[in-house]
Amino acid sequence: MRSAHKFKVYDFTDTVVSDPQSPARDQVVAEIVQRLEPFRVDSRPVLGSTVITKDLNIDSLAVMDMVMELEDRFDISIPLNDVAEIHTVDELADAVLRKVEGR
Amino acid sequence: MGIFDRYRHLLDARQAMRESGADPLVTMERVVSPTEAIIAGRKTLLVGTHNYFGLTFDESCIAAAIAATRAEGTGTTGSRMANGSYAEHAALEAELADFYGMKHCMVTTTGYQANLGIISTLVGEGDYLVIDADSHASIYDACKQTQATVIRFRHNDPASLEARLRRLKDEPGNKLVVVEGIYSMLGDTAPLREFVDITKRYGGYILVDEAHSMGAMGAHCRGLVEHVGVLDQVDFVVGTFSKTLGAIGGFCTSNLEGFEVLRVATRAYMFTASLPPSIVASVRAALRIVRRDGAKLQARLWENVATLYDGLTEAGFRLGPERSPVIAVLLPDQMTAVGVWNALLEAGIYVNLAVPPATPGGLCLLRCSISAAHSRGQLQHMVDTLTGIGRRFGLLSTERKRAVASAR
């Protein structure tokens, strides 16, 4: 028993999007919103303008884990250094799309 | 806004714990041995001190520290760059390098500074620092200090590391991969051979933090790198004196040519007073013990690990994934974790309480660390006591036992 936890620690998704080469912006936003749903406060929906660490009940570790999932989903690198500059869902979607284009 | 207001949430969290009857910031009124202290007027068994070989009260270490204080004073009052480099610091570095079979070694004043200073200095602008998601705070703080680009990979997942290095393969700049031997929260070990293979395949450098695995692992106590046979393939080994070696301080050892330049580039090394003579002397004495009696102490440590790990498993507790000198008892939520931790303390047993955000995956756990100095009786007493508390909290019902068994 070496590499994997016996219990479930992270909830990662390993499936690949239909067209990870050039995802539409809506698709990227939808992917992000879906991952942020569990952290919603009250019944307020997660929108493009949602400020991730302020409007949601999510800590910085969970944000970093979500970014790690997006990296694998779209086969890109989003450095931690960039995550500090990202505040809203829209900004995160833009960052993903920029990386996809620069790939 | 007041200058402390940004930390309001921390105060609130501590207050909430106090209201539930526990304050995890414990004061050791008097430590009487590697395994016992007086806490709140009560004699308490210590099962959360990272004192893996129990050397804090070793007579030869104590004598060496006293003699060094008499000979050279209580402190160096200066950094290694100025007046704080004594012959003993150089001797300790030479002995550590020899212990690992490396050419170079640099000693820092704390283990935290070894990671902070050395990792943040090894990589700079245009380079990539690739770290395990469950890395220790000292590694995360190095990420904040370096100009390098920082990428995380999934904890202990070679495929995740490979995917990240593959994405970076056409980028110029050095890539430094940082992993730990034993992870301090769950006590799990890294799949190090795979990590080394992947890192080398992509032309990267690899640094292994053996803070919790020095002593505990390897035929000559040199850690996971020795245990899995990659000591000659890793680029840097970082370690600490505050666990198996029973004092305080840190080090980094390497075979890479040019390593010595770090002495004039690592700010956490250059601008801190060096270790006092007493510490250097006790660490040198402790290292001699590890070299002489390490196999015996390591065997005793693992016997003790088995007593607690197997005893608690048998009782129906959920534990970290493998037998380890760090044994994590997983509890369902923070309220329960605080309650069980407090009940254990009131019953005269101290362990570490670990709750989010310090833990991975939002886990709440009691973090026990085992020492070669524990007696089997002490650890059996802990199994019995915690089992009683676990029953009281409804954690060990037969249904749960069955659930755990079927999950295996």
pLDDT tens-digit series, residues B144-182: 999 999 999 999 999 999 999 999 999 999 999 999 999
Residues in chain A: 103
d(CA A38, CA B69): 57
- Chain A interface, best mutation among B188, B319, B324, B364, by max A CB count within 10 A: B188
A91 in reach of chain B (CB within 8 A): no
Architecture of the CATH domain B8-56+293-407: Alpha-Beta Complex (3.90)
- Tell me the C-alpha distance between A32 and A89, whole Å: 7
From chain A, the residues in CB contact with B154 under 8 A are 10, 12, 68
Contact B167 A76 (CB under 8 A): yes
| Complex ipTM value | 0.83
User: Mutate which of B151, B400, B408 to test chain A, going by most A C-beta atoms within 10 A?
Assistant: B151
The yes-or-no verdict on residue A48 having pLDDT over 70 is: yes
**CATH 3.40.640.10 placement within chain B:** 76-275
pLDDT at position B397: 65
The mean pLDDT of B119-130, rounded to a whole number, is 98
**Cross-chain Cβ contact B167/A79 below 8 Å:** no
Class of domain B76-275 as given by CATH: alpha beta
Domain ranges for chain A = 25-101
Contact A54, A88 (CB under 8 A): no
Q: Where in chain B is the domain with CATH 3.90.1150.10?
A: 8-56+293-407
Res. A7: pLDDT tops 70: no
Q: Which two tokens stand for residue B2?
A: 């007041």
Q: Residue A95: its pLDDT value, please?
A: 95
Query: Which residues sit opposite B45 in a β-bridge?
Result: B36, B349
Mean pLDDT of chain A: 82
Provide mean pLDDT across the span B12-16. 85
Categorize the per-residue pLDDT at A20 as very low, low, confident or very high, splitting at 50, 70 and 90: low
With residue B274 as reference, give the H or E element that holds it.
none
B328 neighbors B319 (Cβ within 8 angstroms): yes
Token pair of B93 as six digits = 């570095």
DSSP letter assigned to residue B334:
H
CA B53/CA B291 separation, integer angstroms:
12
Tell me the fold of A25-101.
Answer: 1.10.1200
Which stretch of DSSP H or E encloses residue B36? strand B36-39
Report whether the peptide linkage leading into residue B191 is cis, meaning its omega lies within 30 degrees of zero: no
Token couple for B283: 């660490």
pLDDT tens, B255-300?
999 999 999 999 999 999 999 999 999 999 999 999 999 999 999 9
Q: Look over chain B and give the mean of its residue pLDDT values, rounded to a whole number.
A: 95
In the predicted structure, residue A15 carries a pLDDT above the cut 90: no
**Partner B contacted by A1 (CB < 8 A):** yes
Whether the pLDDT of residue B407 is over 60: the answer is no
Closest Cβ opposite residue B360 in set A9, A60, A71: A9
Of B150, B330, B362, the CB nearest to A79: B150
Is the confidence at residue A18, as pLDDT, over 60? no
C-alpha–C-alpha distance, residues B192 and B169, integer Å: 21
Between A10 and B363, residue with greater pLDDT:
B363
Residues of A in contact with B153 (CB under 8 A): 68
How high is the pLDDT of residue B9? 85
